[in-house]
């Protein structure tokens, strides 16, 4: 269905911009500019490659590009490369010619950093502007100190002092502040407490040099607790019973509980009689021990959680009380745990679903059906599980954005948007996103809709994912869940022998359609493959492999990603939900969880996954798979058919299987708004999560 069309409401400033754009383009309106634009893009890429090597050779390649929107990026790239050799007049000339542009701001920041390295404080002060980050703020203070100025704590340091960690550029400034007598014990301890709350043991260690011997010793307790909690709890047996020692012991016990709950438990038994912790500190330790014994599913985990003092309970501990009861399939305990939650927490779609599940298991059929009705009103993984229990259709309220040719032309008249779309067209995706964000920083909802619609037509799919991420805009499902047939997801999934809707769901969760996505673990591209993994998949499947950077090519990434998904599925009887968990957390971890709780039904098993990231990952991928099934076919296979019991073989949905209709269900008055699950590129889980 074509989008609805309505004229946008344009403010006076936007109308002026639009009118100017129309006048500028009137002379060329009757000519085909596409070949010329393509030629400019080719020329720009060549010139940019030359500019990135420094010097002026790019200028000959850029002949005729002076009116091309990205022309300012060329000289900026050359100057950035030659930053150690360029002088202030050259940089200032560029800043004056292109004020308020992103390359301009980057060049100013980088040149100031270079001037600081040179200790050219005269030029630095002439060019410095506040608000460029903590490092340059400290460099500016160094420049003043070099000129003989003194520091004023409230004026110069108070804001920096609230940061739990600072860059090395600030070391000399902090030392000067100490030498001037500005770092009083009270100020030092205030920042140590900030650093302790933020887990920055290194910051605390650095500040011990400015404390008295006794204070330094107690500060070292805190640093040790943060950096080496196991060592700290052993050392705490010899610490004095002071406020700072108690603070450090609390930090160490809580951090150790996350890693080694049994060791932390033993340490707590030894320390609680000799260190008289405050009630809030005891509550913090008791909470951590209960929660992390729960994530290990220890035999007495449920009792610990039930017996937690009221002041020691948190949303996290109450949630884990439900999960442990689910793992035990103790349905009365499940119901009691949900009833013990605050009303707001009970309205989470997960707990609405498991309340209905518990009522059903306890034989309270009428109450269970009413609870399932409330849960099924949600457009979410849990809402669709609830709908399957009712044999009901799935709730999905689909909106089409209201756009207009005039509104889209007005967006295209914004210089920053011209640069954003051209940067996307030439493959410079990170700068493109920066230009987009700056150009639309204060845009209204209607302008955003026009911009996203334009981006979608150009194949820039991640703009919808990140722009339509809350409120009513979540209803723009066709934009938020693009099909992108040109990337070959369907054909590659079919060749790999997996469900295309599932492949789409994985891709959407992994990268949110950012083809240049790169995780901290170096997973790359749309389906977030590690280079070593991709190389193994290519070798195993007889596919070409051209190195890690080839994973930024969507076609390559999807071909290898779908084969890797098939490989994961093969390890778990084809089950997409278990393979999804393995894709996120690793097959070895999933096998461990199966060894421990492999007799549980799929919905309960997912709810008892120890890692929060992986639990939510599986739920989102299964939900997204339904959405993509609907996008591909107009109906969807039931989510429960994707959640095959552990050990049973999975068969892909076919034309003979029953399908779910999609309809817009009005939630009951007492039910919450639909869950807002937002995709983003993710890295594998590495620790137990609350």
Tokens describing residue 638: 């039931």
| 3-state secondary structure at position 662 | strand
Separation of alpha carbons 362 and 379, rounded Å: 26
C-beta of residue 612 within 8 angstroms of C-beta of residue 686 = no
DSSP string spanning 571-632? HTTT-HHHHHHHHHH-HHHHHHHHHHHTTS-HHHHHHT-S-HHHHHHHHHHHHHHHHHHHHH
Separation of alpha carbons 546 and 531, rounded Å: 10
CB-count burial class (<10 Å; 0-12, 13-18, 19+) for 410: buried
Separation of alpha carbons 66 and 62, rounded Å: 7
Q: How many residues does the chain have?
A: 690
Instruction: Rounding to the nearest 10 degrees, give the CA dihedral for residues 146, 150, 153, 159.
Output: -30
C-beta of residue 241 within 8 angstroms of C-beta of residue 275 = yes
C-beta of residue 416 within 8 angstroms of C-beta of residue 439 = yes
Separation of alpha carbons 90 and 241, rounded Å: 63
C-beta of residue 624 within 8 angstroms of C-beta of residue 500 = no
Separation of alpha carbons 60 and 191, rounded Å: 55
Separation of alpha carbons 563 and 250, rounded Å: 48
Can you list the pairs that 468-471 forms with residues at least 24 positions away whose Cβ atoms lie under 8 Å?
Answer: 469/676, 469/678, 470/676, 470/678
**Element housing 636 (H / E):** strand 636-637
C-beta of residue 158 within 8 angstroms of C-beta of residue 126 = no
Q: Which residues contact 59 (CB under 8 A, 6 or more apart)?
A: none
Separation of alpha carbons 617 and 508, rounded Å: 11
For tokens 């390890």, the residue is 571
Separation of alpha carbons 594 and 580, rounded Å: 14
For tokens 């909802």, the residue is 445
Q: Which residues contact 578 (CB under 8 A, 6 or more apart)?
A: 572, 590, 594, 646
C-beta of residue 220 within 8 angstroms of C-beta of residue 246 = no
Annotated catalytic residue within 422, 435, 510, 559: 510
For tokens 């032309």, the residue is 409
Can you list the pairs that 259-267 forms with residues at least 24 positions away whose Cβ atoms lie under 8 Å?
Answer: 259/229, 259/230, 260/230, 261/289, 261/292, 261/293, 261/295, 261/296, 261/298, 263/230, 263/233, 264/233, 264/288, 264/289, 264/292, 265/289, 265/293, 267/233, 267/234, 267/236
Q: Is 218 a catalytic residue?
A: no
3-state per-residue secondary structure call for 217-242: HHHHHHHHHHHCHHHHHHHHHHCCCC
Residue 663 is classified by DSSP as: E
C-beta of residue 560 within 8 angstroms of C-beta of residue 534 = yes
Separation of alpha carbons 79 and 396, rounded Å: 51
By C-alpha distance, which of 453, 478, 473, 475 is closest to 463?
453
**Element housing 413 (H / E):** none
CB-count burial class (<10 Å; 0-12, 13-18, 19+) for 306: middle
Active centre residues (catalytic): 510
């Amino acid at each position: 269905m074509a989008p609805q069309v309505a004229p946008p409401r344009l403010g006076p400033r936007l109308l002026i911009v639009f009118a100017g754009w129309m006048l500028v383009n009137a002379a060329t309106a009757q000519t085909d500019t596409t070949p010329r634009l393509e030629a400019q893009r080719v020329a720009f890429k060549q010139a940019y490659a030359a500019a990135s090597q420094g010097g002026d050779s790019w200028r000959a390649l850029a002949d005729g590009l002076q009116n091309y929107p990205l022309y300012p990026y060329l000289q900026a790239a050359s100057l950035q490369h030659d930053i150690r050799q360029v002088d202030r007049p050259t940089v200032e000339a560029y800043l004056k010619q292109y004020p308020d542009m992103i390359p301009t701001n980057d060049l100013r920041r980088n040149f100031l950093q270079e001037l600081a390295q040179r200790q050219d404080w005269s030029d630095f002060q002439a060019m410095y502007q506040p608000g460029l980050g903590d490092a340059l703020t400290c460099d500016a203070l160094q420049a003043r100190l070099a000129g003989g100025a003194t520091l004023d704590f409230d004026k110069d340091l108070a804001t920096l002092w609230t940061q739990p960690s600072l860059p090395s550029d600030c070391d000399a400034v902090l030392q000067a502040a100490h030498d001037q007598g500005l770092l009083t014990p009270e100020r030092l301890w205030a920042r140590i407490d900030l650093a302790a709350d933020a887990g920055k043991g290194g910051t605390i260690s650095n500040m011990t040099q400015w404390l008295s011997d006794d204070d330094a010793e107690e500060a070292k307790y805190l640093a040790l607790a943060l950096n080496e909690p196991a060592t700290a709890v052993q050392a705490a047996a010899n610490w004095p019973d002071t406020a700072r020692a108690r603070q450090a012991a609390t930090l160490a016990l809580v951090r150790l509980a996350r890693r080694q709950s049994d060791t932390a438990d033993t340490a707590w038994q030894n320390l609680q009689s000799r260190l008289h912790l405050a009630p809030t500190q005891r509550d913090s330790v008791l909470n951590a021990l209960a929660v992390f014994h729960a994530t290990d599913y220890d035999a007495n985990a449920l009792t610990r959680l039930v017996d937690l003092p009221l002041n020691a309970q948190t949303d996290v501990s109450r949630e884990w009380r439900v999960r442990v009861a689910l793992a035990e399939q103790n349905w009365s305990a499940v119901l009691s745990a949900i009833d013990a939650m605050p009303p707001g927490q009970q309205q989470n779609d997960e707990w609405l679903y498991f309340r209905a599940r518990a009522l059903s298991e306890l034989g309270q059929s009428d109450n269970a059906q009413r609870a399932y009705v409330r849960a099924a009103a949600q457009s979410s993984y849990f809402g669709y599980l609830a709908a399957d229990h009712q044999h009901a259709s799935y709730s999905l309220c689909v909106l089409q954005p209201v756009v207009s040719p005039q509104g889209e032309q007005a967006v295209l008249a914004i210089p920053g948007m011209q640069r954003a779309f051209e940067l996307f067209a030439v493959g410079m995706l990170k700068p493109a996103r920066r230009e987009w964000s700056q150009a639309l920083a204060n845009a209204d909802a209607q302008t955003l809709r026009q911009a996203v619609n334009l981006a979608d037509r150009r194949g820039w799919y991640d703009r919808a994912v990140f722009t339509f991420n809350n409120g009513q805009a979540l209803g723009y499902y066709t934009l938020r869940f693009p099909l992108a047939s040109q990337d070959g997801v369907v054909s590659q999934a079919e060749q790999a022998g997996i469900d295309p809707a599932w492949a789409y769901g994985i891709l959407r969760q992994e990268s949110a359609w950012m083809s240049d996505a790169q995780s901290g673990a170096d997973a790359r591209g749309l389906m977030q493959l590690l280079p070593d993994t991709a190389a193994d998949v290519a070798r195993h499947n007889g596919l070409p492999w051209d190195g890690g950077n080839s994973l930024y090519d969507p076609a390559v990434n999807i071909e290898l990603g779908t084969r890797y998904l098939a490989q994961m599925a093969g390890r778990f009887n084809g089950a997409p939900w278990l393979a999804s968990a393995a894709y996120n957390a690793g097959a070895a971890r999933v096998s461990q969880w199966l060894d421990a709780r492999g007799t549980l039904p799929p919905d309960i098993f997912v709810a008892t996954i120890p890692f929060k990231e992986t639990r939510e990952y599986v739920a989102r991928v299964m939900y997204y798979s339904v959405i993509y099934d609907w996008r591909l076919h107009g109906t969807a296979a039931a989510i429960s058919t994707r959640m095959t019991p552990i050990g049973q073989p999975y068969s892909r949905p076919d034309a003979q299987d029953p399908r779910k209709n999609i309809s817009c269900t009005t939630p009951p008055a007492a039910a919450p708004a639909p869950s807002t699950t937002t995709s983003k590129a993710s890295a594998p889980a590495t620790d137990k999560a609350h």
